[in-house]
Amino acid sequence: MDWKDSVVLITGGTGSFGKKFVEVMLREYQPAKVIIYSRDELKQHEMRSAGFNHPSLRYFIGDVRDQQRLRRAFNGVDVVIHAAALKQVPACEYNPMEAIKTNILGSSNVIEAALDAGVTRVVALSTDKAVNPVNLYGATKLAAEKLFVQSNAYAGGMATRFSCVRYGNVVGSRGSVVPIFIKQRQSGAITITDERMTRFWISLEQGVRFVIRCVETMHGGEVFVPKIPSMTVADLARAIAPQAQINVIGIRPGEKLHEVLISDDEARTTIELDDMFVVQPAEALWFGREWEKVGQGLPDGFRFASNTNEQWLTVDQIGEIVAPIEAAYAQGQLE
């Protein structure tokens, strides 16, 4: 595809992913237009004040819960990146209907508006918490994935295609544990929930570039999963505050000890490539299974989990990854 001729819209565009995505788009791909769609006028103002004021940028105030506003915003759009979501696990648990309205009904609205407007490619961001979910956030993202994959059946003869990208924790994103550890370091003690806890980790830059690649290569109906490394939360704490005391406070409600990016059930329809996995819909007459020509199937019983991952980050490697985040924190760019 030619990005220079494309109009791109990102929901939740003022978030951590949105800002990095826009930065990379403007610097390297120069689309005809990039639309930031979000509900917070203050964050849009702050984003514009931070230098995001390129002539091709447009700022739309709107909520994914508002299908009529989405239809207006999607008019003339070629590519939609759906990044808007309520993602704080405790907040979703305490406000369950709000999470459902944004993450599930909002995703449905994005799908309907994209179909009505004739958007060509729509990619939704998902999370490892959508696999075998134990909290409401994960459950809403699982439902959103199902909506996006199966909505390809509604497209019929139209050009609109839907896919998902699923990856793990994003280092330094809003709500990440990294800024929390940096703050706690000042007191000389860091709290973790369980020393055995493992997580998949990916940088914002890696996440953005992976999404761009998936937009370019999608057929519609896939869930793309990057091959990313694991780390223990205890090693993350040691990398950020090697001299600090680590206090174990116990696992929280809705929290897993380890995360999974591909379940053993999904593995049966998953294709492996050099640097990613492509989860194909189990039964879909509209899906051409083109990926089977360029990759290979997975062995029986395969499971891509953070505790059995083949790639692991050392404490030193973790330190290199979080160094830019620490620098941003020191400069007051992170709260």
Q: What is the pLDDT of residues 293-306, one digit of tens each?
A: 999 999 999 999 99
Cα 282 to Cα 186: distance, rounded to the nearest angstrom: 50
> So what's the pLDDT on residue 173?
76
- pLDDT-derived band of residue 284, with 50, 70 and 90 as boundaries? confident
Computed over its alpha carbons, how large is the radius of gyration of the chain?
A: 20
Q: Diameter of the chain by CA atoms?
A: 61
Residue 298 has what pLDDT? Answer: 97
Do 236 and 197 form a contact (C-beta atoms < 8 A)?
no
Give the integer Cα–Cα distance in Å for 329 and 307. 30
Q: Supply the pLDDT for residue 179.
A: 83
- For the chain, helix (H) and strand (E) counts, in that order, are 12, 17
Mean pLDDT of all residues in 111-135 = 97
Compute the average pLDDT of residues 223-240: 95
224: pLDDT confidence band, cut at 50, 70 and 90?
A: very high
- Could you tell me which of 261, 277, 282 has the C-alpha nearest to residue 199? 261
User: Which single residue is written with the structure tokens 């409600």?
Assistant: 253
CA separation for the pair 301, 305 (Å, rounded): 12
Both structure tokens of 317: 């490697």
Helix axes 233-240, 177-185, angle to 10 degrees: 40
The mean pLDDT value for 325-334 works out to 71
| pLDDT of 174 above 80 | no
Neighbours of 315 (CB within 10 A): 16
Ordered structural domains, the chain, with CATH: 3-167+203-228+260-304 (3.40.50.720)
Half-sphere exposure (Cβ direction) of 136: Cα atoms closer than 13 Å: 20
Check pLDDT > 60 for residue 118.
yes
Catalytic site includes residue 129:
yes
Per-residue pLDDT, 186:
87
Strands across the sheet containing 230-232: 169-171, 198-203, 230-232
Residues 6+ apart with CB under 8 A from 126: 141, 144, 145, 164, 165, 166, 167, 223
User: pLDDT over 90 for what percent of the chain?
Assistant: 83
Distance CA 172, CA 203 (A): 8
Mean pLDDT throughout 163-177?
86
Decide: helix, strand or coil at residue 145.
helix
Q: Is residue 271's pLDDT more than 70?
A: yes
Q: pLDDT-derived band of residue 210, with 50, 70 and 90 as boundaries? A: very high
pLDDT value for 43: 96
Q: How far is CA 138 from the centre of its chain?
A: 12
Distances (CA, A) of 102 to 53, 62, 87, 226: 28, 12, 10, 25
CA atoms of 68 and 316, how far apart (whole Å): 49
DSSP state of 88: -
Catalytic residue among 87, 129, 141, 256: 129
Confidence of residue 175 (pLDDT cuts 50, 70, 90): low
Give the pLDDT band of residue 285 (cuts 50, 70, 90): confident
Q: What is the mean pLDDT of residues 169-183?
A: 82
Q: What is the total residue count of the chain?
A: 335
Residue 269 has pLDDT above 90, yes or no: yes
- pLDDT at res. 46: 95
Mean pLDDT of 93-121: 97
Q: Using 50, 70 and 90 to split pLDDT, how confident is the model at 333?
A: low
